[in-house]
Amino acid sequence: MRSQAVDHIALLPLYAAAATAVLALLADLFVAKRAVTAAATLLGALATAVCALAVGPWDPTFCTTGGCSWVPTWPAAVTAALFAALTAAVLALSLPALRLGTAPAGEFCFLLACSMTGGVTIAYAGDLLTLIVGLETLTLPLYILVGLRRSAPDDSAADGRAATRAASASVTFFLISVISTAIALLGIALNYAATGTVHLNLLGPAPTPFAALAGVGAALLVIGLAFKVAAVPLHAWAPATYDDSPLPIAAFLSTASKLGGVLALAAIVSRLDTGAVMSALAVLTMTVGNLVALRQTRMVRLLAWSSIAQAGYILAALTMGAPGVPAALAYATFFVILELIAFGVVTALRPPGADGGTLDDHRGAARRHPWLGAAMVLALAGLAGLPPGLAGLFAKVSVVGALVTEGWTWLAVVVVINAVIALAYYIRVAALLYTLPAQPGIAVADPILVYDATHPRVTVTRPVIVTLLIAATVAVVVGFAPQLVFSALM
Amino acid sequence: MIHGEQALLLALLAVPALGAALVALIPATRDRQARIVATVFAAMTFLLSLAPLAYQGDMPRRWDQYTSGLEPWIDLDLPWVPALGLEFHLGVDGVSAPLIALTGLLTLLCCAYTIRKVPSGGAGRTLAALLLVLEVGVLGTFLALDLVLFFLFFEVVLLPMYAVIAGWGGPRRRAAARKFVLYTLAGSVLLLLGVLIVVARAGTGDLVDLTGSVQLTATTQQAVFALLAVAFAVKAPLWPLHTWLPDAHTEAPTVGSVILAGVLLKMGTYGLIRVGVGVAPLGAAWAAPALGILAVIAIVAGALICLRQTELKRLIAYSSVGHMGFVLLGIATLSITGIQAALVGNIAHGLITGLLFFLAGTIKDHTGTGSLNQLSGLRETAPRLAGLFGFAAVASLGLPGLAGFWGEAFAVVAAVQRGGPLWITLASIAAVGGALTAAYFLRLLRLLTHGPATPETHAMPPALSRTEWLAWTPLVLLTIAVGIVPALVLQGTFESLTTLLGARR
């Protein structure tokens, strides 16, 4: 057996990510101060992003005849940096809750950094097994993070219920995820049996006697991965899990975790012919996601369904195979930025450690927090694909443009019809933020004064403000200069 | 390097955008100052919007001397997003210059109107800032010479207009605003499809390259024109896609109605001329009869509904449907006369209906009702307002010598010139529709200004305030000016239209 040559520079981002996790663990063990652990993790995440961008495209490593398992390209480096940035942002959003002690900081930071390591692995993966390992490393810590809610010192019945709900969300998520991984692995196995390869660059049509087997394998693989991006009909876990997990973790699930699934799918569909399965998934995902979102009354559930629908647009781009991958990645990049802002604003508007609440809980919020309101409008308009959310508009244009160019006009029609349906609920939420609450039963001279008196401002902590400020700035910059994203992902 | 005149195009977008940002940042305690700042920016934009008129074509040339179907007087082309084939390409020519000036004027008048009168619902400075954002979107649409850029600016107006209606509108504003935004988005996603099909097939979105060149097959042009026509028909609006308009107008605040009728609707007709006819001339020729028939139905349906209508703003909104029907009939003839009629009709409608909505808004503000059953005898309680209303109504019904005449008369003339049984029939029905227009406006005047004064009309102040004079005088004067000298609008359009329609010959 021949050992493979290892290029350590190519692996630098992975080392940085893994070292962050270890550092978080050690810091918690030896210093045992929440601030130090969090700061170490934050710095580690930023270092990972810097490493990924500094190394950039590099020689592939872990190579064997014909294929390599670790392929540093520009899209890989950019998406790895994106994973790291999302991790840092989610950590910053979690700080107020961690300060309250709703979850043990050391474990939280360690698990989050582990998840980031998985994301980095997915970005660089050059074979199906590395891809699955990365995906599992990304997801595994999330089972715990979803349920990681220690009852606060002033334990009340409500908190106890929240902890139970979180645990049940965690179990649901875990079961669904394990099954989906098993399906994906079966798909890989069948495909390997048919073609004898696991390396992405060698994937392709199987020789004739095995074509059917390889087709089944590819379909199973896509279906297994579709669970991760919560594609309809494999989506049922997502709304409940999002709603019952802590808000920042829900943000991570709907951004980083979804991005991981998209990258994995992109790796598969660009080499194997899965157009039929993908187009069916895409149509179902966006249509069902949008229609159900119309009926939601809870904030996080609405965002969860909208995020399902958004995944549908990405799947539509991936339906085209290799030509659709740049559009899908660009869409995913714009989407995670906007989604992060949306979840960040909800986190900021709610007391630390609270869940997303009902839509009515957010009524009039923008009147008390005009800047948070503006950020939310930016995010929602972007998700709807309208100015001022230019990033979202360009995302939609790139997907629809690719679909039209590649001759999938019917799918482009489905996408744009869905964009109209989606606006109905995005605009409902945005308008709600600026609506005065329903009048109390008694007549009052100045309803606004009464409202302000009964709805004290939530103090927004500094890490949350900084995160939102950076995210909003990035959204505006890539909105005006989307070419930055398109070039980086070429 | 950007030359002086190119900087003008950038400034046309940058000044209102900057103004909007600045006004939004002014604290709530200085609300009135903020509205004044907004008006100053609107005034600067208005002056800038007049400047392109000075740059119009140098020497008349024969049509075969033109290298492209579109020769802008001023041209600015910067790369923006090569990955999407999107260039920041702006330009002005005879088709867009009058509309740009109209937009500058109406936004200025609305901002000035907001200084004194803020409709209830929200802060006045936010409303003023939104008006400036709307102006950016509309000016951008008229300036864009790149298809994707055109689409982008087309979308810019969507959410601000929603916010204006939903924030400052009447009692049923939310439903009306939602209907407006969903309807319009449904139209503009079709525009997106059409635009992207053109970009995919022709390999470019540059209107200068695309106009009049034969890069698209006839089938593609038909598909593209069908998509674009529906998209613009929603915006214009053309019967039967007009149902969002009456609700939006009835509920919108006065300035919202003025901007909506005065400039937003023009984006639809302008788009049809610039993009629809320019990029897909064969498609336009193919669809012209259908477009003409729908336009004539719109004229007649609008007039018949107006004859039965008892809500003031709703009546004016439906009259817009009829007027835009004339504009679309002019476009559908695909002749220079017809499209010139459409351009004059656009401007005239913007001036006259803008004035009508201002007047209707004032009446509604003072009397608290828009129902014609409760309003009568206005000439006794508010003679000046009644006089102005009479003027606007007479202008709107197309009295020769006032702006409204040229668009409607020459749309009919163009249809007759087009010849053939279909177009002659359409012309005759449109002429009957014109007569019906006169009928319902006279009915409106009889109900509103004559008869005994009701308690509601007694609430009207007999004199007009200074703000009102300030906002309305320019509209009155321009209505007369365009009525006497339509060349004010048409100067320079002949060149642009000859090249635009040249490819079809």
A363 has a pLDDT exceeding 90: no
Tell me, yes or no, if B59 comes closer than 8 A to chain A by beta carbon.
no
Interchain pair B158, A482: CB under 8 A: no
pLDDT at res. B503: 47
Tell me, yes or no, if B129 comes closer than 8 A to chain A by beta carbon.
no
Indicate whether A276 belongs to any domain: yes
Tell me, yes or no, if A449 comes closer than 8 A to chain B by beta carbon.
no
**More reliable by pLDDT, A148 or A328:** A328
Residue in A388, A394, A419 nearest the CB of B189: A419
Residue in A412, A434, A486 nearest the CB of B193: A412
Largest pairwise CA distance in chain A: 85
Q: What is the 3-state secondary structure (H, E, C) of chain A?
A: CCCCCCCCCCCHHHHHHHHHHHHHHHHHHHCCCHHHHHHHHHHHHHHHHHHHHHHCCCCCEEEECCEEEECCCHHHHHHHHHHHHHHHHHHHHHHHHHHHCCCCHHHHHHHHHHHHHHHHHHHHECEHHHHHHHHHHHHHHHHHHHHCCCCCCCCCHHHHHHHHHHHHHHHHHHHHHHHHHHHHHHHHHHHHHHHCCCEHHHCCCCCHHHHHHHHHHHHHHHHHHHHHCCCCCCCCHHHHHHHHCCHHHHHHHHHHHHHHHHHHHHHHHCCCCCHHHHHHHHHHHHHHHHHHHCCCCEHHHHHHHHHHHHHHHHHHHHHCCHHHHHHHHHHHHHHHHHHHHHHHHHHHHCCCCCCCCEHHHHCCHHHHCHHHHHHHHHHHHHHHCCCCCHHHHHHHHHHHHHHHHCCCHHHHHHHHHHHHHHHHHHHHHHHHHCCCCCCCCCCCCCHHHHHHHHCCCCCCCHHHHHHHHHHHHHHHHHHHCCHHHHHHCC
Residue with tokens 């990972």: A48
Q: What is the 3-state secondary structure (H, E, C) of B470-502?
A: HHHHHHHHHHHHHHHCCHHHHCCHHHHHHHHHH
How far does A306 lie from chain B, in Å, by closest CA? Answer: 17
Interchain pair A483, B81: CB under 8 A: yes
Residue in B155, B178, B192 nearest the CB of A400: B192
Residues in B closer than 8 angstroms to A404, CB to CB, are 193, 196-197, 199-200
Interchain pair B81, A482: CB under 8 A: yes
How far does B48 lie from chain A, in Å, by closest CA? Answer: 24
Mean pLDDT across A335-351: 92
Q: Which amino acid makes up residue A182?
A: A
Report the distance separating Cα A312 and Cα A294, nearest Å: 16
Residues in A closer than 8 angstroms to B196, CB to CB, are 397, 400-401, 404-405, 412
pLDDT (tens digit per residue) in A26-63: 998 898 888 899 999 999 999 999 999 998 888 888 88
pLDDT at res. A172: 86
Interchain pair B155, A393: CB under 8 A: yes
pLDDT at res. B505: 42
Tell me, yes or no, if B84 comes closer than 8 A to chain A by beta carbon.
yes
Interchain pair B83, A388: CB under 8 A: no
Q: Which residues between 14 and 53 in chain A have a beta carbon less than 8 angstroms from any beta carbon of chain B?
A: none
pLDDT at res. B59: 46
**More reliable by pLDDT, A150 or A116:** A116
**CA contacts within 13 A on the Cβ side of B1:** 2
Indicate whether A5 belongs to any domain: no
Q: Which of B403, B406, B401, B294 is nearest to B339 (CA)?
A: B406
Mean pLDDT across A159-176: 79
pLDDT at res. B120: 79
Interchain pair B84, A482: CB under 8 A: yes
Indicate whether A1 belongs to any domain: no
pLDDT at res. B504: 44
Residue in B174, B182, B199 nearest the CB of A401: B199
- Domain extent listing, chain B: 4-502
pLDDT (tens digit per residue) in A199-224: 888 887 777 788 888 888 888 999 99
ipTM of the assembly? Answer: 0.89
pLDDT at res. A456: 65
Residue in A405, A420, A483 nearest the CB of B82: A483
- In this prediction the pTM is 0.91
Report the distance separating Cα B28 and Cα B204, nearest Å: 46
pLDDT at res. B334: 87
A403 has a pLDDT exceeding 80: yes
Report the distance separating Cα A179 and Cα A186, nearest Å: 11
Apex A213 CA angle, A210 and A215, nearest 5: 110
pLDDT at res. A205: 78
Lowest-pLDDT choice from A246-250, A356-360, B13-17, B259-263: A356-360
Determine contact, residues A345/A468, Cβ cutoff 8 Å.
Answer: yes
Tell me, yes or no, if A182 comes closer than 8 A to chain B by beta carbon.
no
Residues in B closer than 8 angstroms to A401, CB to CB, are 84-85, 196, 199-200
Please give the residue range of the domain that contains residue A279: 12-488
Tell me, yes or no, if B155 comes closer than 8 A to chain A by beta carbon.
yes
Nearest-by-CA chain A residue for B84: A398
Residues in B closer than 8 angstroms to A388, CB to CB, are 159
Residues in A closer than 8 angstroms to B82, CB to CB, are 483
Nearest-by-CA chain A residue for B205: A401
Tell me, yes or no, if B178 comes closer than 8 A to chain A by beta carbon.
yes
List the pLDDT tens digit at each of the 505 positions of chain B: 677 778 888 888 999 999 999 988 888 888 888 888 889 999 999 988 888 877 765 545 544 555 566 777 778 888 888 888 888 888 888 888 888 989 999 999 888 888 888 887 778 888 889 999 999 999 999 999 899 999 999 999 999 999 998 888 778 888 888 888 888 888 889 999 999 998 888 888 888 888 876 678 888 888 889 999 999 988 888 888 888 888 888 888 888 888 988 889 889 999 998 888 888 888 888 888 999 999 999 999 888 888 888 888 888 888 888 888 999 999 998 888 888 888 888 889 989 998 998 888 888 888 877 787 777 777 778 888 888 888 888 888 888 888 888 888 888 888 888 888 888 898 899 889 888 888 888 888 888 888 777 777 777 777 778 778 888 888 888 888 888 888 877 877 777 777 777 644 4
pLDDT at res. A447: 63
Interchain pair B81, A427: CB under 8 A: no
Residues in A closer than 8 angstroms to B148, CB to CB, are 397
Indicate whether A290 belongs to any domain: yes
A439 has a pLDDT exceeding 70: no
Residues in A closer than 8 angstroms to B146, CB to CB, are none
pLDDT (tens digit per residue) in A445-477: 666 666 666 666 677 888 899 999 999 999 999
**More reliable by pLDDT, A357 or A283:** A283
Residue with tokens 């920042």: A248
Determine contact, residues B261/B353, Cβ cutoff 8 Å.
Answer: yes
Which of B80, B132, B159, B182 would best serve as a mutation to test chain A binding (most A beta carbons within 10 A)? B159
Q: Which of B416, B444, B445 is nearest to B430 (CA)?
A: B416
Q: Where are the alpha helices (DSSP H) in B53-146?
A: 97-116, 124-143
CB contact set of A1 (below 8 Å; sequence gap of 6+): none
Interchain pair A398, B190: CB under 8 A: no
Residues in B closer than 8 angstroms to A75, CB to CB, are none
How far does B157 lie from chain A, in Å, by closest CA? Answer: 8
pLDDT at res. A460: 80
Interchain pair A405, B200: CB under 8 A: yes
* Domain count across chain A: 1
For chains A and B, count residue pairs whose Cβ atoms are closer than 8 Å. 85
Q: Which residues between 362 and 381 in chain A have a beta carbon less than 8 angstroms from any beta carbon of chain B?
A: 377, 381
How far does A482 lie from chain B, in Å, by closest CA? Answer: 7
Tell me, yes or no, if A436 comes closer than 8 A to chain B by beta carbon.
no
Tell me, yes or no, if A391 comes closer than 8 A to chain B by beta carbon.
no
Tell me, yes or no, if B193 comes closer than 8 A to chain A by beta carbon.
yes
